[in-house]
Every structure is written in C-alpha cells, then in structure tokens.
Structure 1
C-alpha cells in the first residue's frame, strides 16, 4: 500500500492509501465520514458490529397465545415462545452498515418459563478484515390478556342467534349441528386473521339454542349457514342498546332461525288420500317418498315449504319384520311386529321381492314398508 499523505485525526498515524477497501461517503469522490478517516486501529477500537437492545419484552396473551406487535395483537399459533423470541430479537438487532458478507446465528437459552437468553453470534468483513461479535439479549415473556379475550371474558357480544323450529322443539342433533356450524364459521374467520370473530356464550333453553356472537356480520353469516345446512329460514330484529362516544346509536341484532316444521326421516301423512310420506329433504320445499307406492313427493307452491300433515313417526321407529308372501304387484303380506298376525299392506316400487325381512313402521295409518336406505340415512 502507498502512503496517502493523510493522518488519523485521533492518534496522528499516517493512513495507508487503500481507499477501495473503505466505503465511499455519499458526498462525492474522495469525501469520507468521520469514522472513515480514522486509521484501522482507532476505527476498530470503538467499532461495534452489532447494535442490540439491553432487553426485549414480548407481550403474549395467556389465554389464546396471541403476540402484541406494534399497536395490535397478532395470532401466531405458537405452542412455546422460543421461536417468537428468536423472531423478535432478529428484528431488533442491527448490523453495522460498513460490514459485508455478514453471517449470523441465534441460540436460545431457556432460563425459566418467562425468561430466555438469546446468544447471538455475528461475523462480517469490515475494511478487508474479518470481525466477529457475540451479544446476549435477555427476552422477558410478559403474559397478559389480549383485547379479544378480554371482550370474551367480559361477555361482550353484538348479535344473538336463536335456533328454533316451526311448531316443534329442535332435536338435540339439530342443536348440536347448529353449534358445530357456528364454530366452524368462526374458525374460518379466525383463520383469515379476523380477531373480531368469536362466540361469547352458547345456552340451551326450552325452546332451542341461543348463541351470543361477537358482531352482527358474524351473526348473520352463522344464521345463513345454519339454514343452508338444516333448512328453514331466519329473520333479524334490531334492539337499541346504547350510544357510542360520538352519539351514534348502537344496536344489538337478534337473528331468529326457524327450522322446518318436519325433519328428514319423519313419516307424515298430508291426508291427501295418497298415504304417508317419508320425508327425505327439508331444504327449500319438503321432498319425500310415498310409502304406499314409492313415488317421489314434493310440496306444492300452495303448501309453502311444507304441507299441513299428521306426524306418524320417524325412521328410528322402524322394525324389521318377516315377509310372508308377495300377493301381487300392489300388495305384500308381512307379520305385524307387535301382534305377529299376517297383514296385507301396500307394496311400494322399492320393495325387494327376494327379501325375507323388511323394515316397517306402524302408525295409526297402518303398516308401511320403509326403503332400506332410509333406516340409517340422513338428508339427501
């Protein structure tokens, strides 16, 4: 190296001319910042490769595991917070701008449940010299309650979804399905990062099921999905509950879900002269199968979603009984499952002439053969 004719302003040593190894300052050719005019010994005497904080505090929700970042809570789905600590430390560390070819690694040391020491090893090339540095950053895990969990704990809600049924009480299975539909909808919203999605409370009442939901939009979405799954419809009713700080009226909305009068698997008699019907579907207007003939049935426009009919039983009431004889294309003889007397009953299209036993349901309308697939089937 040649001599530059310049001297270190700190120690007075003449600086060797190796300008290519030092970063140029943005002021133009030949101009350098205060550190760049120092000799190597003085430069490295106070050089720090890494700028690290004395300590990092990580705020986590003790209920849901969310992490507070910036001015909001973020769901991270972490089971332990070591990875979170590594990420937070990595973002907080700074490497000197003069360093090139930088490599680094972070090794966590778990001190206890809420304290982690992060051993950070860095290396890089500065002024043609390989330098390395190790820093230890303590990380404190501060367990708190996020806004969302605080709202849930405080019973906050904006909507109520009421699950009822037309002229009957919803079954335990229907109530369970409605709750599963609501929980699945909320889970989908949470997966998109929506922290306003939650169910505050689920209550069974004599008339059905009540669910308190975080927002009106969530309540409407849940009500729609329940009716898509179980049939029926819903209406909404607003109730003024308070005013916000700006004087705007705040409403709570009740979404009243009304499940269909009948459910799939019920045997009903519309008393139209053509005999009982096995209900197959209640989505939209009622659809089913005539037990006397096996023909398809669909409620007419005049009947609305369902006709006025007598309930005769359900597919769960079916009993296997013995086939005595096939009389002709319209009649078959079977044993009454209660009296064991031979009875001649209608032979529907789905009747299997090779069967030794068939499922039958007995009601005030008499004995009727059920389709084999109806005994353990759900809605189509």
Structure 2
C-alpha cells in the first residue's frame, strides 16, 4: 500500500495515500478539516451518520385538533397525528455532511395516545465505505389550547350581528337560516386558512337573534349575506372599546339586520284597491301575484319591500276545496271549506279549470284561490 507521508493525529498511524487525496471538506478559511486527516479507524470510531434529537414534541390543540408548526397553529383536520409526528421527526433529523448516496426510512410505533416511537434507519456511503445507522426518536403529543380556541373560550368577539324584522318577529325558519348563513360564511373562511374566523355566541332573544362574531369584517360579511338571501336591509354602528399598543382606537361594530315586513308566501292586501297579493319575493321591491287575476305585482320604488297593506294569511294556511263550476272567464264557484256552501270567487289566470280541487285561503276579505305551486316561480333563492 502506498504511503502518503502523513500520520493520523489521533493514533499516529500513517494515512494511506488514497485517503490523503480525498477532497478537502474544511471550512471557508481553507483550513483542513480534522476529521478528514484522521485515519479511517479513528474517523469511524466516533462517527455518527445521523444527528437525532433526544425527543420531539408535537403541540396539538385539545379543542380543535390544530397543530403548532413554526410560529403558528395550522388546521389539519386529523385525529391521528402519526403523519405529523413523522414529518416533524424528519425535519429534526440531520445527516452527516460527508455522507453520500443517503437513503432512509422511518417506522412509527404508537405507544399510547400521547407517545410515539419513531424507528429510523439510515444508510449512506462515507469514504467509500457503506454505513448504516438506526435511531429511535421519542415523540410526545402535547395537548394545549391554541390561540383561536382560547379566544372562543374567553368569549372574545369584535362585532355583533342583530337579526330583527320590520313590524314583526322573525320566524323560527328565518332565525335558523340566519344562523346557518353565518356559520356557512365562517366555515368558508376557515377553509381558506383564516383562523380568525369564528362565531363566539348565538343567542335567541324575544324579538330576534344576536350573534357575536370574531371580527368586524366577518360581521359585515354575514349581515350582507343575510339580507341578500332573506331580504331587508342592515345598518351599522360602532363603539370604542380600547386602544391597541400603538395607540390605535379599536371599535366594536354592531350590524343591525332588519328583515322585510312581509315574508315570501304571505298573502297581503295592498291599499291600491286591486285585491290581495301572494308575496313571491322580498328582494328589493316586493313582488308577487294578484290572486284575483294572476297578474304580476311589484311594489313601487318608494314602497320597496314594505308597501302599506293588510295581512290576510300565509300560503301554508291554504286548504284544498272543491271547484264547483266555472261561471265565465272572470269567475268560478268553489266550496267554502268551513260552511260547505258554493261561493263565487275571481278566476285568476293560473287556475286550472279541469281540476277537481283548488287551494284556497279564507280571510276576512273572503276566499282566495292560490296557485298550486304557491307562486314559487321567481321566488328568492
């Protein structure tokens, strides 16, 4: 074996020439790396292919399941944190800089709900010699409370959405739908990764619904969506609550949603003298169908969604009754569902004269034949 004339600084053995010819992996100053000039025996005696931490801790929110990564909490939607443990162990492991052709695999061992052992096996080539190394890294699942859940638990909110109705109380269906709209909107924002999106509290009150929302922007978005889907309008007001550390004033916004006076499916009698109307839409100007003729109705711009009208009942109050006879193009006879007497009523365009029964609503204004479909065409979405 040829000799290099250099000797191992640790054991004193002469280093073979091929070892001396290996590339210098020293620092930027050009100095020779001590490990490079060691003989193979001394080099491998203390060589570690893998630098592994004593333990890896995975921080998990016990409420929502989010995982802390870097300096923030991330929603992952998982109940099994094995994959997260594998990922964080992989990031924590270091391979010797001199290693070439490195390959590795890791096998998790679930010890209990909060402890996982990661069995990692590495292989590589060092100084032309194949080496392998096995390490076991304990992983501990640390159950904590993320910042978002802490805010929710503490009742934190920045805005209030109040749902009321004009000259009436919101129905159960309107209250339920308003809450659904709020939660759907927040869920959509959560899916984009917005962890500031949450509903802190929903409370029913005698005249409507109050919802506490995480941010002012969220409250505004919810108010807009409720009025877009259920009609009506909203107004806002603000109240100074504090100042931040930079002296900026922080306000709590209240968004007051006012649902329309009348609701879809309601029968009203506007004061224009042309007879009752079945309300089809409360978006923008109130729209409906005249029960006497079947003609379309739309409130004036000034009246909007709340024209002056008498309330007569609702579509769901209608009952089927016998169509007795067709008198002419303007009138038919139907059976009064209470007295069982034949009554002459107007014949609207939508009435099917071949039908045996038709739906009617009885009010103080008389009997009204309603459309079979409830006038749903053109209804609010």
TM-score, normalised with respect to structure 2: 0.94
Q: CA 1:19–1:227 in structure 2 vs 1: closer, same or farther (change >3 Å)?
A: farther
Within 5 Å, give how 1:258-277 maps onto structure 2.
Answer: 258-277=258-277
- Quote how far apart the aligned CAs of 1:172 are: 0.5
Q: How does 1:252-291 map to 2 (within 5 A)?
A: 252-291=252-291
1:12 equivalent in alignment to 2:12: yes
Between the aligned partners of 2:307 and 2:352, the Cα distance in structure 1 is: 30
Number of residues of Structure 1 aligned to a counterpart in Structure 2: 379
Q: Deviations over 1:103-130 (max 9, x none)?
A: 1111111112211111111111222222
**Which residue pairs with 2:367 in the alignment?**
367
Aligned residue for 2:143, secondary structure, equals strand
The CA distance in 2 between the partners of 1:192 and 1:64, in whole Å, is: 16
Say which is worse superposed, 271-280 or 297-306, in terms of deviation. Answer: 297-306
Following TM superposition, by how much is the alpha carbon of 1:6 offset from its aligned partner in structure 2, in angstroms? 2.9
Deviates more, 1:3-12 or 1:207-216: 3-12
For structure 1, which segment, 40-49 or 173-182, has the greater mean C-alpha deviation from structure 2 after superposition? 40-49
Aligned to 1:341: 341
- 2: distance between equivalents of 1:332 and 1:46? 105
Per-residue CA deviations over 1:330-380 (Å, capped at 9, x if unaligned) read 111111111111111111111112211111111112111111111888635
Residues 21 and 325 of structure 1, relative CA distance in 2, 3 Å threshold = farther
Which residue is equivalent to 2:112? Answer: 112
Q: Contact (CA 8 Å) 1:102, 1:125: kept in 2 or not? A: yes
Q: Indicate the SS of the match to 2:156.
A: coil
Mapped contact 1:278–1:289 kept (Cα < 8 A): yes
Query: Is the contact between residue 21 and residue 128 of structure 1 (CA under 8 Å) also seen in structure 2?
Result: no
Q: Contact (CA 8 Å) 1:57, 1:142: kept in 2 or not? A: yes
Q: Which moved more, 1:174-183 or 1:92-101?
A: 92-101
- In structure 1, the residue matched to 2:352 is 352
Question: Unaligned regions of 5+ residues in structure 2, if any?
Answer: none
**Which consecutive unaligned segments of at least 5 residues does structure 1 have?**
none
What is the alpha-carbon distance in structure 2 between the residues aligned to residue 184 and residue 118 of structure 1? 40
Kindly provide the CA deviation profile for residues 210-265 of structure 1, in whole angstroms up to 9, marking residues without a partner as x: 00011111111111111111111111111122333444332211100001111110
Partners of 1:262 and 1:101 lie apart in 2 by: 75
The answer to whether 1:188 aligns with 2:176 is no
Secondary structure of 2:373's aligned partner = helix
- CA offsets, 1:111-168, max 9 Å, x none? 1221111111111122222211111111111111111111111111110000001111
Q: Which residue of 2 aligns with 1:238?
A: 238
List per-residue Cα deviations over 1:308-340 (Å, max 9, x = no partner): 111111110010111111122111111111111
Shift of 1:17: 3.3
Cα RMSD, aligned residues only: 2.0
Kindly provide the CA deviation profile for residues 11-54 of structure 1, in whole angstroms up to 9, marking residues without a partner as x.
233333336994443679x9752212222222111111111100
Deviations, residues 264-305 of structure 1 (Å, cap 9, x unaligned): 100000021111111001111111111111111111112233
**Whole-angstrom distance in 2 between the partners of 1:132 and 1:292:** 91
Which sits farther off after the overlay, 8-17 or 342-351?
8-17
